[in-house]
Chains A and B, each alone.
Chain A
Amino acid sequence: MRKNRLAARTSCLSLILMSALCGLTACGSADDSTESKTGAAAFFDGRNIRWIIPYSPGGGYDEYGRLIAPFLEKYTGARVDIYNMPGAGGMRGANELFGSPKNGLTIGIINGSAMVTNELAGMRGADYKIAEFEFLGRVVADKRVLVVSTESGIGSFEEIWKSEDRVKIGATGLGGSTYVDAVIANEAFEMDVDIIHGFDSSSVVRQAMLRGNIVGTWGSWGSAADNVGAGRDIVVLQSGKERASDLADAPTVFEMGEKTADPERTMAILNAWESLHAVGRPMAVPPGTPPERVQFLRDALYKALHDPKLLATAEKSGRTIVYASGEEMQQIVSDATVLPDEIRQLFVRAIKGEL
């Protein structure tokens, strides 16, 4: 009798726990709308969309996914399930998306710039064809910045450029974006910055900067902003042709590019670099998805990424949205994949770590 009561009590406890958790997870579900739906809207209504995120829970891509998913649910009428598929530097998720059923029920966000360069370099495991994806739109294109620690005493890019000693810049793995940016900058500006690579993650690079082991690193403005705001780092160089509004003091690579010995070559490299950055983080569906469903998803993504509530939340979490439409993305990707031969070779060597 006693045992039964105890068992009942424990199962009651677990029931309460379960219902509490269910209640929590239910918060994110979509609004119901009663109007009748036709075509693609009717197809997606009440269905489950699988959203592939090619990185682990908790990273930047995952954060964008979890931020946008509820709004996609709102505008598609479907349930959106986040599906983390980390591996092979984002290629595993891209491959999975490329080969998924072409019914519009599998969507994905990809690391656009890295997927383009990996394909260009013919990396093993790049089984997708980036230009064949049906793009739904771009969530963001990161502004890349070169930051140095305030402690280092360096105040401008020229000081690094013209330095007598080899300045040490940290990077993660060979072929990773922090590494490729540093190598390409070396090539474009014909400088000899010492790139210390092999750090586990960008946070370990940060630690080494704080310790004074290295001077600076390349990274996205989104993730560098925090430390810059706190006065620990300063931005000495930014990617792009125009200075960002919240980064008016740092020169762009194009401004600096005019001061090199061979501006023509520098500009060619910088243009290619820029077109790669522009690919950013796009969302896509597998090639061959029915056009009306692609269009429907494009519209839904447009509405989601322009929803004032989403924009407010994105700003709060420091994750900006730099939208480009699906049609624009097809153009951006083809620009990035068609590079002059010499420049293409340069990037391939940089990605493979041969520079």
Chain B
Amino acid sequence: MGIIEGLTSGFLQAISLEVFPYLFVGAAFGLVIGVIPGLSGHFAMAMVIPFLYTMEPAAGIAFLLGAHSTVAQGGGLTAILFSTPGTGQNAATLLDGPPMRNMGLGGMAAGAALTACFLGATFGALVLALLLPVLQQVVLFFGPPEIFVLAFLALTFVAVLGKEDLTRSLIAALTGLLLAMIGLDNVTNQERFTFGLLELRDGLELVPVILGLFAVAEMFELWVKGGSLTGSQSSPMSARETQTQIFRGVVEAVKHWWLIMRCSTIGAAMGLIPGLGSAPAAFVAYGHAKQTSKSKETFGKGNIEGVIGSESANDAVEGGALASTIAFGVPGSSSMAILLGALFILGQETGPNMLTYHVDVVFIMIFTIIIGNFLGMLGGVFLVNPLTRATGLRGSLLVPVLIAIVFTGAFAVQRSWFDIGIALFFGVFGYWMKELGYSRAALLIGFVLGFAVEKNLYLAIQLSGPFFIFDPIPLTLAVITVVFLAYNIWGIIRDRRRNG
């Protein structure tokens, strides 16, 4: 089957009456799951699996991917409006989303986030489509040496994020790296920093840590300071005002199309790398948005570019992550592992066979991501208004309710009471970090990348010896890293001279 033929057939199937209703229900389900903190895309997919046994392949794929693709949009909404990210991938949205809400621009941020998500996902899906002819070569590009250097490069974005106070940012990032080391080391079979607790053997779970650092910390702050989430805004916005804001947000996102393109490229590229996940992609995109912005100083204080950058990247990841799954049946993330299992249930074979004979199935996936996100955007717009009203509630009413929801989310990931303790601990920790001016984002970057850096360094050394860094591709990437770091450090020194 030729690519054009596959494209047409894929599109017609995706919008057909046999498939579209499933796509719609899936997208709605994903949006709801996304709004609930702690429940992730891979949870949504696992819930859908039992229904696939009796479904046609096209409908099953649309149902499954539809549910997966809108989760980030729902999560972005709650990240902005309640400082409570749905999943790890919305963590970067917390840096500028909630400050915008505090300025009374919550609706605008939400509109921009939903649109950026949709455009990012579309971009990621298009990248996947364009890569189809060379998909296998691209996927095999990344081995342990390359991933190590790339993860290290991503780590250096701490320098961009924490430009204002490099010392504190480095402390935070190194703390994050230390936190990543907690648990049983796969390589030596030694427990590290577990303090004899069996619960820490598998390391810290990402979701409770993020919920603690941001959501719980925010609740503490709200409790201590009083008032409501919307801060200075005395009365909640009217429905009409919210709608106007959402529309302005959409326009803003479209206006920043070039930023979305660049951040989506980052997202799609990082999605291609197995094991990195979407949380770092969003942070790196955020760092890039800040680096290239004309108004760097307003980042972290409610800059819409921060919201657009991170939200566009976290949905563009999906296109990239799908690539390695389709090319070789090698899933790049836990969600993709579920997708692979589902494809098997639906009787679809991945790899060269799918690319040669069933390319229409790949296009059904591509169109599902695009249409699903579009539906998610429309559905999300309906959710913004009621959610915005809740942000106007006074803290003494809102905090107990949100804390209950957040703790339920922390518990739900592994059904572990211990994780509620983790969320609480990092709540206190995050609150003090914020009070004392330490970057929580830097800590999180260290935490999410520490594992990838360490693991791949070990594998690279085992596979290619200690001089793997001098191989052509790792060397090129390493040079880029050094140049990037040098440029940023130089920038910091220059700024200091100017100000000092």
Q: What are 30 A-B residue pairs whose CB atoms fall within 8 Å in the complex?
A: A2-B239, A3-B238, A10-B386, A20-B25, A24-B29, A56-B334, A57-B43, A57-B46, A58-B338, A58-B341, A66-B46, A83-B415, A84-B414, A86-B202, A87-B199, A88-B201, A92-B198, A168-B463, A173-B184, A174-B186, A174-B188, A197-B186, A198-B459, A204-B274, A207-B324, A207-B328, A208-B143, A211-B143, A317-B344, A318-B344
Q: How far is the CB of A195 from chain B (nearest CB, A)?
A: 10
User: How distant is A277 from chain B, measured CB to nearest CB, in Å?
Assistant: 22
Residue of B45, B352, B455, B463 most packed against chain A (CB within 10 A): B463
Give the segment of B47-55, B157-165, B247-255, B395-403 that binds chain A: B47-55
A169-224 interface with B by 8 A CB criterion: 172-175, 196-201, 203-204, 206-208, 210-211, 213-214
The answer on a CB contact under 8 Å between B186 and A207 is no
Complex Cα gap A333–B458 (Å): 37
Is B416 among interface residues, defined by CB-CB distance under 8 A? yes
For chain A, residues 149 to 176, give those with C-beta under 8 angstroms from any C-beta of chain B.
168, 172-175
Asked if B405 CB lies within 8 Å of chain A CBs, one says no
**Given A316-B347, A317-B344, A203-B331 contact (CB < 8 Å):** yes
Cβ of B371 under 8 Å from chain A: no
Contact with A along B51-64 (1 / 0, CB 8 A): 10100000000000
Whether the Cβ atoms of B188 and A58 lie closer than 8 Å is no
Q: Which residues of A contact B29 (CB under 8 A)?
A: 17, 20-21, 24
Residues A230 and B53 in contact, CB atoms below 8 Å apart: no
The residue of chain B having its C-beta at the shortest distance from the C-beta of A59 within the complex is B337
Task: Please give, as numbers and ranges, the residues of chain B lying within 8 Å of A168 by CB-CB distance.
Answer: 463
Residues of the A chain whose Cβ atoms lie less than 8 Å from the Cβ of B489: none
User: Would A230 and B349 count as touching, CB distance under 8 A?
Assistant: yes
Cα of A83 to Cα of B458 in the assembled complex, Å? 35
* Interface status of B288 (Cβ within 8 A of chain A): no
A66 to B49, alpha carbons, bound, how many Å?
A: 8
- Which residue, A28, A67, A200, A232, has most C-beta atoms of chain B within 10 A? A200
Task: Write the nearest CB–CB distance from B29 to chain A, whole angstroms.
Answer: 6
* Max chain B Cβ within 10 angstroms of own Cβ: one of A198, A199, A200, A208: A198
Residues of chain A in range 18-51 having any CB-CB distance to chain B below 8 Å: 20-21, 24, 27-28
A57 to B141, CA, bound (A): 30
Q: Is residue B6 contacting chain A, with contact meaning CB distance below 8 A?
A: no
B163-209 contacts to A, CB under 8 A, are 184, 186-189, 198-199, 201-202
- A-B pairs with lowest CB-CB distance, top 8: A57-B46, A173-B186, A58-B338, A174-B189, A317-B345, A198-B187, A353-B189, A58-B46
Residues from chain B with Cβ under 8 Å of A210 in the complex: 140, 328, 330
Flag if B385 contacts A10 (CB, 8 Å). Answer: yes
A345 within 8 Å of B (CB atoms):
no
C-alpha spacing A92/B418, complex, angstroms: 13
Contact A86–B414 (Cβ < 8 Å): yes
**Cross-interface CB contact of B329 among A70, A83, A227, cutoff 8 Å:** A227
Distance between Cα atoms of A203 and B186 in the complex (Å): 16
Are B32 and A21 in contact, CB atoms less than 8 angstroms apart? yes
Interface string of B14-35 (1 = CB under 8 A from A): 0000000000010011001000
Looking at the assembled complex, report how far the CB atom of A175 sits from the nearest CB atom of chain B, in whole angstroms: 6
- Assess whether A3 is in contact with B239, with CB atoms less than 8 Å apart: yes
B275 at the interface (CB under 8 A from A): yes
Evaluate whether A63 and B341 lie within 8 angstroms (CB atoms) in the complex, with A7-B386, A125-B198 already known.
Answer: yes
A28 contacts B50, C-beta separation under 8 Å:
yes
Determine the distance from Cα of A214 to Cα of B205 in the docked complex, in whole angstroms. Answer: 30
- A313 part of interface (Cβ distance < 8 Å): yes
Is there an interface contact between A200 and B347, defined as CB atoms closer than 8 Å? Answer: no
CB distance from B284 to the nearest CB of A (A): 20
CA of A63 to CA of B49, assembled, Å: 8
Complex alpha-carbon distance, A155 and B426, angstroms: 53
Give which listed residue, B143, B189, B331, B351, contacts A213 with CB less than 8 A. B143
Quick check: A200 and B46 within 8 Å, CB to CB?
no
Instruction: Provide the B142-165 mask, 1 if CB < 8 A to any CB of A, else 0.
Output: 111000000000000000000000
CB of A259 within 8 A of chain B? no
* CB of B298 closer than 8 Å to a CB of A: no
The closest CB in chain A to the CB of B387 belongs to A10
User: Is B415 in contact with A17, judged by CB distance below 8 angstroms?
Assistant: no
CB neighbours (8 Å) of A173 from chain B are 184, 186-187, 189
Residue of B nearest to A207 (CB): B330
| B233 on the A face (CB < 8 A) | no
Binding site for B on A (CB under 8 A): 2-3, 6-7, 10-11, 13, 17, 20-21, 24, 27-28, 56-59, 62-63, 66-67, 70, 83-88, 92, 124-125, 168, 172-175, 196-201, 203-204, 206-208, 210-211, 213-214, 226-227, 229-230, 232, 313, 316-318, 352-353
Tell whether, in the assembled complex, residue B189 and residue A6 are in contact, meaning their CB atoms are under 8 Å apart.
Answer: no
Closest Cβ–Cβ distance, residue A151 to chain B (whole Å): 11
The answer to the question of B8 belonging to the interface, with a C-beta cut-off of 8 Å to chain A, is no
Distance, CA A314 to CA B329, complexed state (A):
20
Q: Give the docked Cα–Cα distance between A245 and B43 (Å).
A: 36
Does B462 lie at the interface of the complex (its beta carbon under 8 Å from any beta carbon of A)? yes
Decide if B330 touches A203 in the complex (CB within 8 Å): yes
Asked if B440 is at the interface of the complex by the 8 Å CB criterion, the answer is: no
Q: How far is the CB of B49 from chain A (nearest CB, A)?
A: 6
| A227 to B49 Cα, complex, angstroms | 22
Is there a chain A Cβ closer than 8 Å to B353's Cβ? Answer: yes
Chain B's closest residue to A198 (CB) is: B187
- A-facing mask of B265-285, CB < 8 A → 1, else 0? 000000000110000000000
Bound together, the chains give a CA A320 to CA B498 distance in angstroms of: 70
A232 CA to B188 CA in the complex, in Å? 31
Determine if A200 and B455 form an interchain contact, defined as CB atoms under 8 angstroms apart.
Answer: yes
Complex interface: chain B residues within 8 A of A318 (CB)? 344
Nearest residue, chain B, Cβ from A213 = B463
* Given A17-B28, A27-B51, A83-B415: A213 and B144 interface contact (C-beta under 8 Å): yes
Picked from A198, A214, A230, the residue with its CB within 8 Å of the CB of B458 is A198
CA distance A28 to B335 in the complex (A): 23
Chain A hits for B344, CB < 8 A: 226, 317-318
A313 touches B53 (CB 8 A): yes
Chain B residue nearest to A2 (CB atoms) is B239
The minimal Cβ–Cβ distance linking B168 to chain A, given in whole angstroms, is 31
B residues in contact with A172, CB < 8 Å = 186
Residues from chain A with Cβ under 8 Å of B32 in the complex: 17, 21
The reply on B42 being an interface residue by CB < 8 A is yes
* Cα–Cα distance between A80 and B1 once the two chains are bound (Å): 44
Is B187 within 8 A of A197, CB to CB?
A: yes
In the complex, the chain A residue whose C-beta lies closest to that of B140 is A211
By beta carbon, the residue of chain B nearest A225 is B344
B residues in contact with A20, CB < 8 Å: 25, 28-29
Contact of B382 with A by CB under 8 A: yes
State the CA gap A276–B198 with chains docked (Å): 25
Identify the closest chain B residue to A11 (Cβ): B386
In the complex, besides A20-B25, A125-B198, A232-B351, 7 extra interface pairs with C-beta distance below 8 angstroms are A10-B385, A59-B337, A83-B415, A88-B198, A203-B331, A208-B459, A317-B341
Contact status A198-B455, CB under 8 Å: yes
Contact (Cβ within 8 A) B274 A207: yes
How far in angstroms is the closest Cβ of chain B from A278? 25
Q: Which residues of A contact B239 (CB under 8 A)?
A: 2-3, 6
A83-B415, A352-B189 known; A196+B462 contact, CB < 8 A: yes
CB of B28 within 8 A of CB of A57, answer: no
How far is it, in angstroms, between the C-alpha of A213 and the C-alpha of B468 when the chains are bound?
Answer: 13
Question: How many Å lie between the Cα of A196 and that of B416 in the bound state?
Answer: 33
B454's nearest neighbour on chain A, judged by CB, is A198
Q: How far is the CB of B174 from chain A (nearest CB, A)?
A: 23
